[in-house]
A and B are shown apart, each in its own frame.
Chain A
Amino acid sequence: MASVISTGQGENPHEHLRRPRRALNWWTGGAILLAALAVMPVAAVLVFAFGDSGDIWTHLVKTSLFGYVKTTLWLMLGVGVSVLVTGVSTAWVVTMCRFPGRKVFEWLLLLPLAMPAYVIAYAYTDLLEFAGPVQGLLRTIFGWQTARDYFFPEIRSLGGAIMMMGLVLYPYVYLLARSAFLEQSVNVLEASRTLGRGPWRTFSSVSLPAARPAIAIGASLALMETLNDYGTVDFFAVYTMTAGLVDVWLGMGSLAGGAQIATTMLVFVVLLIMLERMSRRHQKLYQQAGSRYKPLPAYRLRGAKALAAVTACALPVLAGFVIPVAVLGRLTLIYFDRAWTPEFQVYVFNSVALSAAAAAIALTIALFVAYSRRLHGGKLLAFGTRVATLGYAVPGAVLAVGILVPFAAFDNAVDALLRQTLGISSGLLLSGTVGAVLFAYVVRFLAIAMGQVESSLEKVSPSMDMAARTLGYRAGQTLVRYHLPLIRGGMLTAAMIVFVDCMKELPATLLLRPFNFDTLATHVYEFASDEMLGEASLGSLTIVGVGLIPVVLLSRMVSRTRQTLGESAGQTQ
């Protein structure tokens, strides 16, 4: 989710203006330390992977590993295709065409972003299972009695999982494709039209290739989310590598075996990241200067075409948001008394407080590291940043292990030291506290904050920095007094996205939380996996509701993108 509305250039265009400074100072040292902390869980996982795992590895390879990999690949393929088709088509239609309801659809199409994949899975299971209203209606109409009398596709399957994830992940592609289409050069489009290409050919030969890097970034982000998901695949009994990892780790008690699967997953992740980074570099090439002030050509749609456009936009919104919310709403009304307990209100508070804290911390760290890069650059820092953002792609359960063990080792070491020297026990300082969960959130979602802060900072010309320095302000003061107000919008965006993602996070929270501490996500999971979907509905709806607030604000920001770009271009010139 690195750079949502900006062009997201991969390298700083002002690289040549930086002068080498003293290698180690507060900024560089601090940034490297923070990056190292963020990398620690991933490194811990790798260390375990090469530990002693007995003959689990051979057993795995002989039996289930290829199954896990195959299932994961199919899932990723299916999700990739569906998000690409949905995201690109809706982004194009909404950007380039005029039809009734276009302005509304612009932000409506973002709504599924608020819905975690496992929640939508629960909603559709309730809707489409044998005992649900859809099949019930079919049986009433056609007079069938049992499941063997007719064929109805099974929702709890690989196909179902693909559908669920496709419905909630397409907004990633939609957002990025949309901003790419918005930023495309009007001159080139007009040239294409004067050369006799109709709208469709212009789309396929001019706009689409230019937007390809942004679309690739969106798709890789969606695929990372797919790799990470646990709630949906667990519920649907689809055995992906994440499920296999948890299985080997907990079912067979082999942490090292689980970590080995995790390392295999990291290979996928690295490939996805490479895809994303390469695309960012291409983006820089394809972006055209100027002509941002000209309005894009608008194709006016009428009649059947307008209807088609409306349908194409309405379907993802209906399927990805309206229908699940309706299903959950109905269940909430029925089960409200059983779900609305004082404990529930505590869960809400926990979720919100934790997510807000994580967003604040992640943003602070991202700001510090990005600013350090801006000040001093250098290969070490660049490498450190890149590696630190790997946390986003690491599945929550693996991250939990990678955090739990070092934290506990630290606690035990400190405790042993204190026992020896002072004769007192410090107990557990980090593990089993809310801090551990916070750390997991920050590591996982640092990439979002980093990407957004980086791209926002890049828009600020270094002449601003230099002017401030000649006025006598130090680096830190410049950051606070000048940069922060300028990048405020981008930071707010990043904070909100991190907040939403933290609210939805499940596996790491399940494993790392302290005594008697539940978030909305863990509460919903507990009931749903016990087939008590009714009791889980209020919590699910709350997650979606809270997640909506930042999504709506994000959408408003997105709709102002074109004007904002014009403004900031004027500022930085």
Chain B
Amino acid sequence: MKLSFFRSLATTLVVLATSFSPVMMQASEASEVNVYSYRKPQLIDPMFEVFTEQTSIKVNSVFAKKGMLERLKSEGRNSPADLVFTVDIGRLSDIKDAGLTQPVDRVQVDGNIPAHYRDPEGHWFGLTTRARVIVASKDRVGPGEIGSYEDLADPKWQGRVCTRSGKHPYMVALTASMIAHHGEAEARKWLAGLKSNLARKPQGNDRAQVKAIKEGECDLAVINHYYMVKMLKDPEQVAWANAVNMVFPNQDGQGTHMNVSGMALTRHAPNKANAIKLMEFLASAQGQEMYVQKNGEYPVKAGVPLSALQNSWGSFKADSLSLAVVADHRAAAIRLADEVGYNN
């Protein structure tokens, strides 16, 4: 009598546990690809839908802002993830360094993506580039007053600059590129100078900085270019975008700092063939064009037509520094942000 209760309880618990298991739900190789993504679903789902239409391969994606790397590490060889999509170079290199990727060597991918936007060993690939631009208030900053990242540390901008957290991957990559170009000592001076020019404690995302310029809290901000595209499409935010001019920095020098959103094939990808097909699709002309049209990002593939808005900005000199080098300096960049107390 006593035991039967526990037997039934144990059975129930086991059934409960395994009923949630994806073992039941594993489909055959032919039908799906699993994606772990740092990119928000609304930014990449349109591409996946077209891919599914064309190839009948279903794309399952999970979006997480944090903790993806740890999850991949602990899932190990049983991880269902085939592809990892990231929003910047940092996570791509972190995943490769953790030994969670495998190299891909396909002409359709390599041929479409320039060498400085992909891993020399083929572990990760940039899919789109984003320029980190400076936006300046139309009312309070004259044309030509600001032209480079280095200028941001100039004391004349004291209390007039807004940025997001100095430890956010986009800012870290910028700092890392400063380290790569100028060395750590100079980069620390620059970062400290920028910090002392801040109008308020770093908060919010890039769009919030433009909003702050519109509201008069500051005059300069550093954002990724595609936010301008997005804000111009949003009825509430178009006013923010119209309050600023966009400047591609360092046109006379090393060029504007570029970051990439990218993809990597996981080491134990269960649906490897499907995943590579998806990679090829996204690197192809069609996939690249969708990125341009839907998100306003710059394509990595040469020859893809830009949007009207992007054409109106004109062409600009992009930093040709290899992103793998930028990735190498990220740890130092984060340390610098802590040392100058950037977020305090």
**A residues lining the B interface (CB < 8 Å):** 26, 30, 59, 63-64, 67, 130-131, 145-149, 154, 156-157, 236-237, 239, 246-247, 249-253, 255, 397, 400-401, 404-405, 407-409, 411-412, 415, 425-435, 474, 476, 510-511, 513-517, 526, 529-531, 534
Contacts and interface: CB of A to CB of B under 8 A. Distances in A.
A131 B67 contact: no
Given A427-B23, A429-B18, A250 B80 contact: no
Contacts of A404: 67, 70-71, 74
Interface in B305-344: 331, 334-335, 338-339, 341, 343-344
Contact of B94 (A26, A67, A253, A517): A253
A335 to B, nearest CB: 10
A147 B203 contact: no
B273 interface: no
Contact of A431 (B67, B74, B94): B74
A510 B67 contact: yes
Nearest to A415: B78
A21 to B, nearest CB: 15
B28 interface: no
B2 interface: yes
Given A237-B201, A434-B20, A428 B80 contact: yes
B165 interface: yes
A517 B6 CA distance: 32
A299 to B, nearest CB: 47
Contacts of A246: 66
A432 B80 contact: yes
B251 interface: no
A263 B89 CA distance: 31
B21 A428 contact: yes
B231 to A, nearest CB: 10
A409 B78 CA distance: 10
A409 B339 CA distance: 36
A429 B26 CA distance: 12
B249 to A, nearest CB: 24
Contacts of B236: 534
A249 B21 contact: no
B22 A514 contact: yes
Contacts of B343: 237, 239
9 contacts: A147-B215, A147-B216, A149-B216, A397-B67, A401-B67, A430-B21, A431-B71, A435-B17, A476-B2
A529 B205 CA distance: 8
Interface residues of B, number: 58
A255 B68 CA distance: 12
A526 B339 contact: no
Interface stretch (B57-65, B103-111, B259-267): B57-65
Interface string B1-45: 110011000000000111011110010000000100000100000
Contacts of A407: 74
A510 B65 CA distance: 8
Contact of A515 (B60, B67, B344): B60
A275 to B, nearest CB: 30
Contacts, number: 155
A474 B2 contact: yes
Contacts of B17: 429-430, 435
Given A251-B167, A427-B22, A510-B67, 5 more contacts: A236-B203, A239-B344, A408-B76, A432-B71, A526-B65
A197 to B, nearest CB: 50
B154 interface: no
A404 B79 CA distance: 12
Contacts of B22: 427-428, 432-433, 514-515
B66 A511 contact: yes
The list of the 4 closest CB pairs from A to B, nearest first, reads A146-B216, A408-B74, A237-B203, A63-B338
Contacts of A400: 67
Nearest to B236: A534
A270 B288 CA distance: 54
A44 B338 CA distance: 28
A531 B207 contact: yes
Interface centre among B40, B74, B79, B338, by most chain A C-beta atoms within 10 angstroms, is: B74
Contacts of B212: 147
B173 to A, nearest CB: 13
B64 A510 contact: yes
Given A67-B344, A237-B165, A511-B67, A412 B78 contact: yes
B76 A59 contact: no
Nearest to B18: A429
Contacts of B69: 250, 253
A511 B71 contact: yes
A31 to B, nearest CB: 13
Contacts of B26: 427
Contacts of B205: 529-531
B326 to A, nearest CB: 16
Given A427-B78, A526-B40, A131 B71 contact: no
B5 A476 contact: yes
Contacts of B66: 246, 250, 397, 510-511
Nearest to A407: B74
B86 to A, nearest CB: 13
Nearest to B340: A63
Nearest to A406: B74
A427 B21 CA distance: 9
B78 A411 contact: yes
A405 B80 CA distance: 16
A428 B22 CA distance: 7
Nearest to A427: B23
Contact of B75 (A26, A148, A432): A432
Contacts of B200: 154
Contacts of A434: 20
Contacts of B150: none
A224 B338 CA distance: 27
A510 B203 CA distance: 21
B70 A249 contact: yes
A515 B21 contact: no
Given A252-B331, A516-B62, A247 B202 contact: no
B70 A401 contact: yes
A511 B65 CA distance: 9
Contacts of A146: 215-217
Contact of B76 (A130, A401, A412, A426): A412
A236 B167 CA distance: 15
A253 B100 CA distance: 14
A397 B70 CA distance: 12
Contacts of B75: 408, 411-412, 428, 431-432
Contact of B21 (A26, A405, A429): A429
Interface string B70-98: 11001111111000000000000010001
